[in-house]
């Protein structure tokens, strides 16, 4: 359930490619995706750049409470992983 147009800053979803660490297939993630399964082997790839949801004051209203909470939890997990790396 997205609002008509971005209320914070006009944006068009962008696409980012990742290489599947399991099979080497190219996985395409849109900036609005939180995770995508590899079409070849099913590996779940997570979006490392969660876009405007992390900073936009309208994000909760734009994507809804459930999606907002889910995306913010993923962002927190990513931050913890980065902090744990030597």
pLDDT greater than 60 at residue 54:
yes
The count of C-alpha atoms lying within 13 angstroms of the C-alpha of 46, restricted to the half-sphere facing its C-beta, is 12
pLDDT tens digits, residue range 25-41?
Answer: 999 988 777 789 999 99
Q: What is the pLDDT of residue 1?
A: 46
> Global pTM?
0.49
Q: What is the pLDDT of residue 86?
A: 62
Q: Over range 42-51, report the average pLDDT.
A: 78
DSSP 59-79: HHHHH-HHHHHHHHHHHHHHH
pLDDT tens digits, residue range 15-26?
Answer: 889 999 999 999
From the list 10, 9, 78, the residue with the least C-alpha distance to 49 is 78
Instruction: Map out the domains of the chain as residue ranges.
Output: 14-49, 51-86
């Amino acid at each position: 359930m997205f609002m008509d147009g971005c209320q914070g800053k006009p944006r068009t979803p962008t696409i980012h490619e990742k290489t599947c660490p399991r099979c080497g297939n190219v996985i395409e993630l849109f900036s609005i995706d939180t995770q995508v399964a590899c079409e070849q082997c099913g590996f779940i790839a997570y979006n490392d750049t969660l876009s405007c949801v992390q900073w936009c004051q309208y994000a909760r209203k734009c994507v809804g409470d459930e999606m907002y909470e889910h995306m913010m939890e993923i962002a927190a997990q990513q931050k913890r992983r980065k902090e744990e790396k030597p």
